[in-house]
Every structure is written in structure tokens, then in C-alpha cells.
Structure 1
Amino acid sequence: MSYLVETIANDILAALQNDRLTLPSLPEVALKVRDVAECDNSTILNLTEIIAQDAALSARIIRVVNSPLLRAPQEVNDLTVAVSRLGMHYTSNLAIGLAMEQMFQATSEMIEKRLRALWQLTGQVSNWATVLATHCHLVPPDEALLAGLVHRLGALPILAYAEARDDLIQDNITLGKVIDRLHGPLGSAILEKWSFPQKLADVPRLYRKISRASSVPDPAGLITLANLIHNRDRHIGWGLQNWEELSLFKTFNLPTDKKDPLYAQLAIRVAQSSSAFF
């Protein structure tokens, strides 16, 4: 690792440890949704009233209910019906995840471009994770969707840091290396600050531990697999991994052959549902 990357990484870590690094806050609508969902006395109507305050979020939730992934028997046009069909837990995780897009904004054109690409990538991985969860029945699909959307969340404070440095904005290679090194621990720190369940807070820190041995299916393992399968035809990065050596495929009862027909079938479902989610 270059001296510059090491210096910047140490600066960011020191700022985190001394509470000088500004971590993103969960959007207000997401906070309200979570508060309602976690209250024992809340009803579907209470949750619907909160979501209805955000027209764009309401429309996206209705679109998800009508997507091929959920295969509603009849088209749903009413938010209350949509929330009732999804249930409190699924709706809250979906709403929280989709509301996070508000955080992927910047004043610098270069950083804004990176944030758009980052949101698109996390959306693609999240979509794969949701489809895999529906197929495997080992992790709830709504949990898989949210895990996918937060697995690279740690890049946000790094990009915010870069916005204040013209030299770093222009140095894509250095910035990319800093993000690769730090987004995992920073992402987990953000989710812990937001009081997310530990199994979700662990996702950014663990998902790149490809050889991690885990006999119990968890969200981090599912996000690892989603990245591997999404990049299975590439000849760099995730695409270079030998699936035969990875125990996670056995944990989730998935084939280790990249050309297995199952993945082509699941890819169709991912493509069909992607426009509904993102």
C-alpha cells in the first residue's frame, strides 16, 4: 500500500476513534418507520401513515409488491394493501433500505458520480441477495435486501472526507484503495451507531471474508455469495474466486459450478425485479 493511502487511512481511522469523523445519519423517514415497527402496539395503519408522508417511497413500495419477485395475485394500487401484504417487518426493512438513497448525494460532481455508481452496485447486490434468499429460504428476503443495501455503507464517510480534499477527489486510484481498505469497519461502525441488529451490523465487516467458515447461514454470508454470483462471469476481483474452495456454497445449499443452470434462472428473476426495487 502506498504511503499516501496509508496516511489517509490512518487519518480517517484516527478521526473515527476520536469522534471527529462525521458519520451519516439515518434519514428521518427511516427513523420514523423503525420506531413504529419496533413498537409492540403499532398497527399496519400506523406504519402506512408514516410511509404515506413520502410519496416517492410509497410508490416504490407499491411497485415492489407488484414485482415478479413477490408475484401478487392481483395488481395492488393502494399503499395500505401493499403494506398489509408485505407485513410490518418486511415493509419496515424495505422502507429503511430504500430511504437510504437520500444519503448518496454530494456537492462535487466527481463524488456525486461515485455515489451514483455505489448506489447502483449495492442495488444490484441487494437484488441478488433477495432472490437468493427467496430461493434458499435460509435468510428472510427483507433482511437480505437491507443487508445488500448497507454492505458498502462505509464508503460514505470516506467520500465525504474526500470532498474536502481536491487532491483526493482527482486521485481515483488512491481514493479507491482507501475505500477498499476502510469501508468494512466504517460501515459496521455506522450500523452500530444506528443500533442495527448485530447480524446486520456485522455485514460490512465480514462480507469480504470469502473463505469464512460458517455452518450457520447469516446475512454476511449471503452478501458474500451475492457478490460472487453477480460477478461470476468477470475475470477480475470477485470473478476470480474458485467456488469449489468456498464452504459458503454448501452452507446455503448452492452449486459451486458457475455455469449451473440455476444461476441463469435466478439471473432472469433478478433482471425482472430490478426495476421495481431500484
Structure 2
Amino acid sequence: MSLEQTFLAELLDAIKNDRLTLPTLPEVALRIREAVEDPDATSSAIADEIAKDAALAARIIKVANSPLLRGRVAVDNLQLAITRMGIAFVRNLATGLAMEQMFQATNDQVDAKLRETWEHSIEVASICQVLASHFTNLKPDQAMLAGLVHEIGTLPILTCAEDTPEILEHAGVLEKIIQRLHPKIGYSILKTWDFPAELVSVPLGYLDFTRKHDGPADYADLVTVANLQSYAGTNHPLANVPWEEVPAFEKLGMSPEVDVHEVDELAEDLNEARSALT
């Protein structure tokens, strides 16, 4: 049995028998979620939780002051930031920003791959936020989170790869395994994290380019389009997918000829969204 077959078989067996160690949501994100879900929660109590992580607090204030939210008065404290953005927005933003710390490893190769995955997730999340605002009735903050978690299933695979250094010498093989398994693993992670059903379905749905369903566009449609747009003009295999054959574009009411990077208004909003997440 080849190294690829062995590594793949071990992963599949771990998934089948519930032995794959899934990542846990960062503690700060869990605390903020708990505070937000308290029916008696106040913006002051939520601000107190966020303030325990100074770096996260600073980034949330930065987003509150970003052109993305178009506030007229500068915000200089968390309570005002929460009031401007709304509790749901803050919860999703805090969850997304806190996740960045998960995309790190001690092995240089794994660390580089995790950072590449995170940067791609930021790009997709930014496009999702812009598309949600301009083309759908979906919540832009939830759309952003959908983009950030669409490849979350990559994490446990790379953790296993870190424990099997030989597989790291075969980048192409590892990439093939990631592409094959990350959607199913991502679904399991988001389910374990108790994410809303409309986000849990994203990892399994976004790569199905023939996917059709009743009703308006959902978050999987959004990530499908955003992911394809993120690869436009690159050498990535997904850059060759014919957009006019992907039903998700029609669901968004969006012409498959529109590239968000080339429409001035969309490109400007995209830069603002990207800046808010970095």
C-alpha cells in the first residue's frame, strides 16, 4: 500500500469510527457566544467578555470604524462598537476573527499551508460579504462567517499530516486528499460547534457546481460563487469552471459575466471588507 493510500485509509477509518480529533472553537469565541445567547445580555456584558482579549477588542473597534459600516462618528470603545454593529454581527465577527489563531502549526510546511488556507478564506469571506449586500437578502455578517469556515475541514487533515511528516514531502498527494475529504470533515466540525444549519451545510454544498434547490439563494450558493470568483484569472483548476453553467449565479440574480474585482463599486467594497478582516 502506498503512502497516499495508507494516509487516506487512516483518515477515512478515523472519520468512520469517530476517532478524528476535531478542532475546538477558541475559548474567547465560546465565551462571547455564551454572553450573546444570554436572554439578559447587555452590550456592556458582551463588551466585558470581548475586552478580555485585547487584540480581538482592538480589531472589533477597527471594523466598527471601517468604511464598511459607514459610521459618521468614530467609535473608541467596545460598547459603542457593539451598538453600531449589532449583537449578531459582533458574535459572527468575533467568532471569525478568533478562528485565525487555529490556522497555525509548529511544522513550517503545515504552518505555510494553514496560513494559505486562512488567507484564501479571508478572500472568500470578503467576497461573500459583498455579494450578500449587493445581490441577496442574506445577512452580510453571516455570509462573512460562511466564507471563513468553508475550508475548516482542512485543519484536522493537516494536523494528521504534521504527525506523518513523510506525507508532507508529497504536496500534490496531500492536496488531493484535502480536496477529497475536507467538505465532509468541515460539516462534522461545524455541526460539533453547534453552528446554524445554514452554515453547517456550506462545506458539503459549495463545491457542487450543479447544485439546485427551491427557494432563494442560501449561504452555500454564496460561497460557491465567491470561491469561484476568488480564483478568477489564476492557475487554479477551479478557474476553468464555466460560470454560466453554475446555478448558484442565477440564484444570486447575478450575471456569470460579472467579476467582483472588476466592477468599481464592488471592488471598493471588497477592499473594505478584506481590510476589516486583516
**Normalised by the size of structure 2, how large is the TM-score?**
0.94
Tell me what 1:21 maps to: 20
Establish whether residue 34 from structure 1 lines up as the match of residue 38 from structure 2: no
Shift in Å, 1:275? 2.1
Q: Would you say 1:252 and 2:245 are equivalent positions?
A: no
Q: 1:100 is aligned with what amino acid?
A: M
Q: Which residue of 2 aligns with 1:127?
A: 126
Give the equivalent residue in structure 2 for 1:184. 183
One-letter amino acid matched to 2:75: V
Is 1:60 the counterpart of 2:65? The answer is no
Distance (Å, rounded) in 1 between the aligned partners of 2:267 and 2:259: 12
CA deviation string 1:188-228 (max 9, x = no partner): 10111111111111111111011211342111110011112
Tell me: CA distance 1:235–1:101, structure 2 relative to 1, closer, same or farther (3 Å).
closer
Using a 3 Å threshold, how does the CA distance of structure 1 residues 261 and 37 change in structure 2: closer, same or farther? closer
Residue 277 to residue 26, structure 1, CA distance change in 2 (3 Å): same
TM-aligned CA deviation for residue 134 of structure 1: 1.2
Question: How far 1:166 sits from its partner (Å)?
Answer: 1.5
1:8 is matched with: 7
Amino acid in structure 2 at the alignment position of 1:51: I
Q: Is the 8 A contact 2:128 2:147 kept in 1?
A: yes
Instruction: Please report the RMSD computed on the Cα atoms of aligned residues, expressed in angstroms.
Output: 1.8
Q: 1:230: Cα distance to partner?
A: 2.0
1:224 equivalent in structure 2: 224
Segments of 5+ residues of structure 1 without an aligned counterpart are none
Q: Give 3-state SS (helix, strand or coil) of 1:69's partner.
A: coil
Structure 2 unaligned regions, length at least 5:
none
**Quick check: 1:155–1:187 contact (8 Å CA) kept in 2?**
yes
What secondary structure, in the 3-state scheme, does the structure 1 residue paired with 2:161 have?
A: helix
Q: Deviation digits for residues 94-113 of structure 1, max 9, x if unmatched?
A: 10111011111111011111
Mapping of residues 115-264 of structure 1, within 5 Å? 115-215=114-214, 216-258=216-258, 263-264=263-264
Give the total of aligned pairs: 277
The corresponding residue for 2:88 is 89
Q: Which amino acid counterpart does residue 73 of structure 2 have in structure 1?
A: Q
Residue identity opposite 2:229 in structure 1? I
The letter for the 2-side match of 1:224 is T
Query: What is the CA-CA distance between 1:89 and the residue it aligns to?
Result: 0.6
- Asked whether the 8 Å contact 1:9–1:182 carries over to 2, the reply is no
Q: Using a 3 Å threshold, how does the CA distance of structure 1 residues 8 and 33 change in structure 2: closer, same or farther?
A: same
CA distance in 2, matches of 1:217, 1:5: 38
C-alpha displacement of 1:6: 4.1
CA–CA distance in 2 between the matches of 1:153 and 1:136? 25
Q: Corresponding residue for 1:274?
A: 274
Q: Select between 233-242 and 49-58 the one with higher mean Cα deviation.
A: 233-242
**Who is 1:49 aligned against?**
48
Which residue type is aligned with residue 113 of structure 1? A
How far the C-alpha of 1:239 sits from its partner, in A, is: 1.7
Q: Name the structure 2 match of 1:109.
A: 108
Change (3 A) 1:61 1:236: same
C-alpha separation in 2, matches of 1:259 and 1:43: 41
Identity of aligned residues (%): 40
Q: In structure 1, what residue type is equivalent to 2:127?
A: W
Question: C-alpha distance in 2, partners of 1:5/1:207?
Answer: 26
